[in-house]
Each structure stands twice: as C-alpha cells, then as structure tokens.
Amino acid sequence: MKFDDQKIRNIGISAHIDSGKTTLSERILFYTKRIHAIHDVKGKDGVGATMDSMALEKERGITIASAATYCEWKGYEINVIDTPGHVDFTIEVERSMRVLDGAILVLCSVGGVQSQSITVDQQMKRYKVPSIAFINKCDRTGANPFRVIEQLRAKLGHNAVAMQIPIGLETNLQGVVDLVAMKAVYFDGDSGENVRTEEIPAELLADAQAKREKLIDAASLFSDELTEAILEEKEIDPEMLYAAIRKGTLKREITPVFMGSAYKNKGVQPMLDGVTCLLPAPSDVENIALDMDRDEQPVVLSTDPSKPIVSLAFKLEDGQYGQLTYIRVYEGTIAKGSTIVNVRNGRKVKVGRVVRMHADQMEDVEELKAGYIGALFGIECASGDTFVSPGVNMTMTSMYVPAPVISLAIVPKDNKAQMAMAKALNRFTKEDPTFKTHVDPETNETIIEGMGELHLDIYVERMKREYSAEVTTGNPRVAYRETITQRADFNYTHRKQTGGAGQYGRIAGYIEPVTDAEFVFENQIFGGAIPTQYIPACEKGFKESMAKGPKLEFPITGVKVVIDDGAAHAVDSSDMAFQAAARGAFREAYLRAKPVVHEPIMKVVVETPTEFQGSVMGLINQRRGIIIGTQDEGLQCVVEAQVPLAEMFGYSTVLRSATQGKAQFTMEFAMYRQVPQSVAEKIALEASQKKTSVA
Amino acid sequence: MATGVAFWRERNVIHLVCEEINMIKNEIIARNPLINLGYGNEYILNDGGLGAVLAHAGVGKTALLVQVALHAMTHEQPVLHVSLNDAVSKVDIWYRELFHDIAGKYDSADMRGFWERTLVYRFIMTFKVEGFSAPRLEERLTDLMQQNIFKPHTVIIDGLRFDESGRGLLMELKEMAARYAMRIWFTVHTHRHEPPQKDGIPLSFRHVADLFDVLVELKAHGPQIDIKPIKGQSADAKKDAIQLDPTTMLIKG
C-alpha cells in the first residue's frame, strides 16, 4: 500500500529579526493544542516563549538555535522549525531551508520587507522553498499590509497576492476578510481561540471584491479550469481557487499573503489553513541525492517509506541525555533498532531512541517515515551527514557554508576551565559548521572564528553558562587576507650539503594573480627537467606557503603558480628537497609580485527614523564606509552601505546612542576588498608588534 | 582591439596592464551617445543646467542617464542618482550591468578594483513619488555636504512625473542646481497617445521645456533605437539621429 504523505507539512518560519516569528510559533502551538498557555517572548510572566528553550534566548529575547516541533491542524501533521532572525546565525536558517518543504515568510506590517527578509528570501530561492507570507503586527501604529505587499513585489520580485484584507488596522484591528470564502473572520475568546465567521462588513465589500478579482486573476494563470470558469462567468468555488493558488505557490510563481497580529491573537488560524492548503507535502517537492557509486549522478528521491533509508542529519544538540541528532528522512523508514550507515565515514550505527521534538521536550515514537522530521539519540555524527541503509551509497547535496570572517582569542581562567572549554568547543564546532576553532601555534592561544561579533559572543556566553568554562577574551580580530597584484618570476635552487645525504632541487616559473580561485598550480615542464614524481612535492611546497604570507602572516589567496623549468639530482633530490625549493621559490617571487592586504567588507543596512539619517550616514562615513544609497520611506529611512568589518566593532552601542535607540542595523559579509595604504601600514605595524611580543 | 595597447590575457589570469583603465574611460566616452551628439561641454550641461531624456516607457531612458553618470564617475565627479521608482539595489544593478557591458571584455581584477574605486563617486537616494520635493532633497543633500560625505557634481532624477508636478518644483530644482553648482538630468516619460509636436517637444512637457538647456529624445523603430537632439546643440553639430544597441543603449560598436 502506498504511504500517503499528503497530510504532512514540513515548514519553516523565517523573517527579519523582531518580526514576531517566535510569537507566531507560540500561537501556532497554542491553537494546535501543543501547549495550553501562551508565554510571550519578553512576557511579564518571565517564562519566555516555548520555542526559545535556551536560557540565553529567553534572556535576550532572540532565537539562537532553531527548535523543531510538530503539531496537528485539522488532520494535518505539521513539523515546524523556528529559525533565528539574526544574520550571524544564518547557518541555522540555511540548514532549516535544506530540510523544509515550505516556509512562512513573516513580515512586519510597519517595517515591511527589511534587509534580513531579503537574505532569507535569497536562501529560500537557493533551496527552491515555496512560501506563503504572513504580515504580522497589523495592530501596530503605522501598519500598512498593502504597502508590504507592494514591497514584496518590488524588492523581492514576488508575485504577492493578498488572500485577505484586514478588518480595521492598528489599535482597531478586529479580524480579516477571507477573499477565497468571501467571509469576515473574527477571533474571540481570551486568546483568540474561537474563530467566528460573519458576512463581510458593508464598508469593506467593494474593496474585498476588487482584491478578490486580483487574486482570481493571478491564480487563473495556473488553472485552465479556473480560467474557463471566469470566461463562462461561473461561480468560482473555494476549492478550485485554492487548487490554482497552490499550483502557483509550489512553482514559486505566486506568494499568497495572509495577515494579522500574532501578539493580539488575530489571523493565525487562517494562516494555518493556508499552510495545509497551499504549501507542499513532502512528495510534492523534488529532493535529490548524489549517487556516490555512479560518479555523483543525481538521483531523485521518491518519499517511499518502503525503500531503503536516505536521511540527512541537519542539526545536533548536546542535551542532558547525550547527543540529539535532528534528522529528515527523505526515503525509507528509520525505526527503533534499524541499522543505518553514515555515508561520510562508512560507520554503521544502530538506532536507539527515535523521538519527535517539541522545543526542549520530546516524545518517543517507533519510527520516522519518509517525509518526517524527528530526532535520534546516541548517534555520533556531524551536522550535514547523510545516513542511509546498508548497501546504499548516496549523499544529500551539501549545504552552503559561508567562511568565518571574525576571530577571537580565548584564554581559560584555570585548568578546570580549560577542560570545560575544550568540551564546549568540541560540541559547538560539531553543531555549527560556521563556528571554527584552532590553536595559534605561536601564541598558543585558542582562537574561535565565526560570522560576527554576536555569533562569537553567544558562544562565549554559552561556554560560561552551559559548561562553567570561565574564559577571558581578547580583542576580536578580522580575517585579513593577502594576495598578489602582478606576475613575478622565480628561479630558485635549494641546495644543502651538510654531511649525510644532500638535498637538491631547482624550480623555475612564475606566480601571478588569479581572480576566482584560491590557488592554482600548473605544471608546464616538458622534457623531464623535474622528474614527474617530484611535481606533487612542488605543489605541496607552494600550497604550504599560501597558509601564511611571509611578512604580515595572513593567509594568501588568489595565486596561480606555473612551473616551467627546473633541475634534479640523481642522488640528492627528494620530495623534501623539492618542497623546500618550492617554499624558497615562493618567498623569492612573492614580494616582487606586489602583495596587498584584503579585508572583509560587510553589507550594513541601517533602518532609522528619518530625523537621524544625517547622523547615521556620518557614523558610517567615519568608519571608512561607502554609502550605496538611502531609501526614504516616509517616517523611516533605510541606509545601505559597505563598511569594513574592522570598523564595525562596537557599532551597535554608538548607533544606539546616536539615534536614541530608535535605529537598528543588520550586517552580513559582502566581499573582500583591498585595504587602503594607510590602514595597510597600521596592520603591518600591528603584525610586527605581535611578532616581537611572541618572540 | 583598435587601441594598440599591449594587452594579453588567459582565462582567469591577469597580466597587469594599467592602460586598461584609460581604455575603459575612453570607451565610456566613445560609446556614449549623448557625448557624441555634439554638445560642446564634456559633461554636456554647465553648472546649474537642466537636461532631460524624453522617451516612451521601456525605451531606455534610465540606461542612457546611467551612462552619463558613469562618464562623470570615471572622471571622479560625484553623481547623485535619485530614483522615484526603484529600490537602491535595483538602481545599483543598472550601474553594474552597464559597467560590465563596457568592461566585460577586459575581465580583470583591475576592472573590479577600478569599479570599487569608482563606486565612491556615486550615491543613490530613493524617494516615494509622493514624498519627493525640492526642500526634502535639499535637506538630504545638506546632511551629506555638511559632513563632507558627498557633494554631487551631477544629479540624475529618474521617475519624476512631469505632467503631474507643476512648474514650481522644476524651478526650485533649477535654483538648487545653480546654488550648489550641480547639473541635473531628468528622465521624461512621454505618452504614446500624445501626437509629437513639430519641434519634437511633447505637449505635456511644454510648460517646463524652457527651463531645460538640453533635451534629447529616444525613439524605438522596431528593434532599432535612435537618439536625436531636440534642444541645446551647438550650431555646427550633426543633426542626425545616432543608432544605439538596444541591449546596452551604447552606440553600436
């Protein structure tokens, strides 16, 4: 019997920071009866939202780790992933997107499409995740959902169509008009749990009809049946209309827009209906794995629970009962006691406990069928690993992982802290591929690397709270890079004769800049001037030289090495000799190739009341920023700029005091760019001081 | 390539040739249709001058003015681009695409560096049509100039509706241009239902035409786009229309 997955939805909730995602999740859990009381993000009861289970999340009022939960709505099983809004935690959003079939894009009816919404939208595009939009906070002063719909069209290029219109706005928000059923919907009871439908108020009827026409128009592109009904002027029944909108939504060619106020308990239930009616079931989405036995040929997975298992571990958590591995099953069924293989290392594992997560609580289940999201206990793996049935050798396509742009030295206070810190770092690096750590061989300091100040800040805080690892932190360091700007030739002979076997190797060629690769090695030697067996040693020598520039000691990128001549000695040449010759050749040519330092540039977007626009621009200007533009949106304005990361430390405090706390900003890595001469000199001075102090 | 400058390159490999930057500057001039229409001044307009590009929707007014902007920017003259239609990111794409159309064949890190250095000479401001006014623009400009962040040499205003905004706004903008020694270019959307007048000036624009020093018209003839001067040419300049490449709005190479 074929398993019917049409009643399963795996959805994410993503948006700009402070759009109310977690509040919305809380309402979803309440209306689907997963929780029995509503706790707000920064509520007076001090409990905090259910989905923000980490103490730090509750304290700061932001979502750090995405929590997974499942709930049921009108016979549909919905797995919800709440994702963080801050850009430093983008990897969490990326991971969620990879395993989700659909998403709710939450937008603020006052703030509209903000910078982070654009980032999230790009991620949705990358993973082709169909979405519906929910315009939240319609109870706020200045709420204008139709302006947000316009922005969805203009800024994100969505074919956004309203599924509803609001009944009243701001403090007068009473409910919504459902443009499919053409009914007014109100939300009664203490928590809006009683949905009451009425006739549309007379004063809204004309507007509702006009907006319904637009909705039908947009939907008719996806259904011949609907077009026919329009032409024949037949009554359009809701099911036909929903079916057409769903088709468009799955193709990502239409974005149905719902609206309301999660905080005021209005509009959430119709949005849940939208999730079940419009977003895809697992088998509606094409998921692809790579067949490792057939040269990574793409294989379309079928969501069939009777087939061998193909699943992806997309998140790890180290809880009180051991490591918890969040997993999405794409094909087959993972049951208690079944054996699965980690494709990365070939290790076989027996599945112990299988659970479904509900924020920080869990529920034991017997199995997870294809299409489900759940968690496994006691499975040793890294985030992003693929698990399959024995005999299958497929891997899910890897996730995009951005490189870290900032680092920080951390020093444990004592021996006990040292042990705890090592344990914490081991866990964090496993959980989060954008968080990296290493020990600086010169200073012996432990360096942590990540995506921004807040990112590292949170991990240091978690180290203290969860592992009692007291650490002191140094100043954040920017991930500078070096590159060359012109071609330089080399002809280097490595010769050593100090008793015993000698060393000899000569390498000639040139290095030159390359734009879209970190390192390119080309062997143009003909006639065996360097015997073939030594070529890999030459490449290794050059590659090793790239790890650290000879002067400033930053990693070198964008270099092509071409070797075209050389010499070897029948007795004295060896791999080691040619590696040393390559290092010498690189040193010889590098400084003549006019090296320069590149620094990470961040895309900074500040949203501020118009009266502070001047000071916001002044602050960016003082920080070597280039203002790309300003967007005047009435009372608010948006300033977009590119600013070196090195200048952004402490920016939030300065911005807050310059704008009476009314401006907010987001930043994300944009590109590497050459530093100006004056800054390069300062960096060189710092590097030499560091060298001296180490010595 | 006709320039005769030593230049060679392989895929992904740059051989530093500084002359490329001069070449691209020359190419921006050589392929800019406005400059080639025979207006005396290098920047076509003098301080305080107003100019406009008239065309139906979708013919390429913005692209043409972005070329004017690129010309100024590559000569280190700051350009303020005011858009009443598009978001900052969309305006930015106009510039990037046009620059890459011109610089694409050089394809080097030099070009990227040159573009990044050029970018500091551009500032994009977007307003909602209903929120735009001369005092508001001046307020924003003062914010920039007082802090020495940006002082425009050329201003481009894209998306102003001439049939709706009266003569008053244009006069205020002209005064502002003179006060700050800037030149302002406008895009003018002409309507297909409007019969062309003898002198080429559409009726809906006539009430403000005298405030402008330079007017040019873009016209689509099937797949062909012509640019024709209407006002402000020197007496000895050629009067014929120039044909443009419709994909890039540059003079056909």
Q: What is the rounded average pLDDT for all residues in chain B? A: 80
Listed residues A223, A251, A284: the one ending a domain = A284
CB contact under 8 A, B13 and A512: yes
Residue A686 lies in a domain: no
Run means of pLDDT, 10 residues per run, chain A, 695 residues: 73 74 81 71 52 51 55 86 60 73 89 74 79 92 90 85 92 91 90 88 92 91 89 87 93 93 90 92 87 82 89 78 84 91 88 79 85 86 85 74 81 89 88 84 83 83 87 86 91 83 90 86 89 93 91 88 91 90 94 90 88 91 91 84 89 83 79 87 83 68
- The pLDDT score that the predictor gives to residue A50 is 54
> Of A247, A264, A284, which one is at a domain's C-terminal end?
A284
Q: What does residue B193 show for φ and ψ, rounded to 5 degrees?
A: -80, -10
Number of continuous H segments (helices) and E segments (strands) in chain A? 16, 38
Give the pair of three-digit tokens for residue A146.
């139709």
For the record, the structure tokens of A231 come out as 């032409």
A633 vs B contacts (CB less than 8 Å): 128
> What are the residues whose beta carbons fall under 8 Å from the beta carbon of B10, sequence distance 6 or more?
none
Q: Are A47 and A99 contained in the same domain?
A: yes
Nearest-Cα residue of chain A relative to residue B86 = A154
B112 in contact with A, Cβ within 8 Å: yes
Q: Do A629 and B14 touch (CB under 8 A)?
A: no
* Residues A543 and A665 occupy one common structural domain: no
Residue B9: band (very low, low, confident or very high) from pLDDT cuts 50, 70, 90: very low
- For residue A603, what are the contacts with CB-CB under 8 A and spacing of at least 6? A640, A641, A642, A667, A668, A669, A670
Task: Tell me, yes or no, whether A688 lies in a domain.
Answer: no
Q: What is the pLDDT of residue B8?
A: 36
φ/ψ (deg, to 5) at A421: -65, -45
Nearest CA in chain B to A115: B89
Do residues A275 and A293 both lie within one domain? no
Distance of CA A583 to the CA centre of its chain: 38
Domain boundary among A430, A445, A476: A476
| CATH number for the domain that contains residue A653 | 3.30.70.240
Strands B50-55 and B214-221: parallel
- A336-339 — which CB contacts under 8 Å span 24+ positions? A336/A366, A336/A367, A338/A309, A338/A389, A339/A389, A339/A390
Q: Residue A503, SS3?
A: strand
Domains of chain B by start residue, with CATH: 36-251 (3.40.50.300)
Please report whether residue A692 resides in a domain.
Answer: no
Residue B11 forms contact with A (CB below 8 Å): no
Q: What is the pLDDT of residue A672?
A: 87
Residue with tokens 């905090």: A48
Chain A residue numbers touching B86 (CB-CB < 8 A): 154
Query: Do A383 and A322 share a domain, yes or no?
Result: yes
Percent of chain B with pLDDT over 90: 26
Say if residue B252's pLDDT is above 70. Answer: no
- Asked if A451 and A507 sit in the same domain, the reply is no
pLDDT at res. A61: 44
Question: Which run of H or of E encompasses A79?
Answer: strand A76-82
Whether residue B140 and residue A640 make contact (CB cut-off 8 A), yes or no, is no
pLDDT band of residue B108 (cuts 50, 70, 90) is: low
Radius of gyration for chain A, computed over Cα atoms and rounded to the nearest angstrom: 29
pLDDT band at B6 (very low <50, low <70, confident <90, very high): very low
Rounded CA-CA distance B110/B93 in Å is: 20
Domains in chain A: how many in total? 5
pLDDT of residue B60: 85
Tell whether A617 is within 8 A of chain B (Cβ): yes
* CATH, residue A145: 3.40.50.300
Give the Cα separation of A140 and A335 in Å (integer): 47
Q: Do A629 and B113 touch (CB under 8 A)?
A: no
* Closest chain A residue to B80, measured at CA: A629
Residue of B79, B81, B123, B146 to mutate, interface with A, max A Cβ within 10 Å: B123
For residue B144, the chain A residues in CB contact (below 8 A) are 617
- Distance from CA of residue B11 to its chain's centroid? 33
Which residue in B179, B191, B251, B211 sits closest to B56, CA to CA?
Answer: B191
**Subunit contact A628:B16, Cβ cutoff 8 A:** no
* pLDDT tens per residue, range B111-168: 777 888 888 999 999 988 878 899 999 999 998 898 888 999 999 999 998 876 778 8
Instruction: Judge if A335 and A445 occupy the same domain.
Output: no
Judged by CB atoms closer than 8 Å, whether chains meet at B12 and A517 is answered as yes
Residues A155 and A61 in one domain: yes
Quick one: pLDDT at residue A5? 80
In a domain, A1, yes or no: no
Q: Is residue A401 in a domain?
A: no
**Do the beta carbons of residue A175 and residue A187 sit within 8 Å?**
yes
Q: How confident is the model at residue B12 (pLDDT cuts 50, 70, 90)?
A: very low
Beta strands in A252-350 (DSSP E): 255-259, 288-291, 297-300, 310-319, 322-331, 333-335, 339-342, 348-350
Q: B89 to chain A: which residues are within 8 Å by CB?
A: 118, 155, 640
3-state helix, strand, coil in chain A (%, to 5): 30, 35, 35
Distance separating alpha carbons of residues A361 and A365, to the nearest angstrom: 13
Residue B18's pLDDT band (cuts 50, 70, 90)? low
A658 — contact with chain B (CB < 8 Å)?
no
Residue A1: its pLDDT value, please?
38
d(CA A395, CA A374): 19
Alpha-carbon span B43 to B31, nearest angstrom? 14
> Measured between alpha carbons, how far is A113 from A149 in angstroms, rounded to an integer?
9
Q: State yes or no: pLDDT of B35 exceeds 60.
A: yes
* CATH code: domain of residue A349: 2.40.30.10
Mean pLDDT to the nearest integer, B185-213:
83
Residue A192 and residue A94 share a domain:
yes
Q: Is the pLDDT of residue B222 over 80?
A: no
Query: Do residues A242 and A370 share a domain?
Result: no
Q: Token pair for residue B206?
A: 């006539």
Residues 6+ apart with CB under 8 A from A264: A139, A173, A192
Residue A687 lies in a domain: no
Choose the mutation target among A604, A632, A642, A675 for the interface with B, i.e. most B CBs under 10 Å.
A632
Residue A212: per-residue pLDDT = 92
State whether A279 and A293 are in the same domain. Answer: no
Q: Check CB contact of B18 with chain A, cutoff 8 Å.
A: no
Do A467 and A573 reside in the same domain of the chain?
A: no
pLDDT of residue B238: 64
CB pair distance less than 8 Å for B119 and A626: yes
Instruction: Looking at the structure, tell me whether residues A449 and A495 fall in a common domain.
Output: no
Tell me the residue range of the domain where A415 lies.
406-476
Instruction: Measure in Å the smallest separation between the Cα of B132 and chain A Cα atoms.
Output: 9
Residues 6+ apart with CB under 8 A from B158: B61, B62, B65, B81, B82, B83, B84, B85, B86, B91, B186, B187
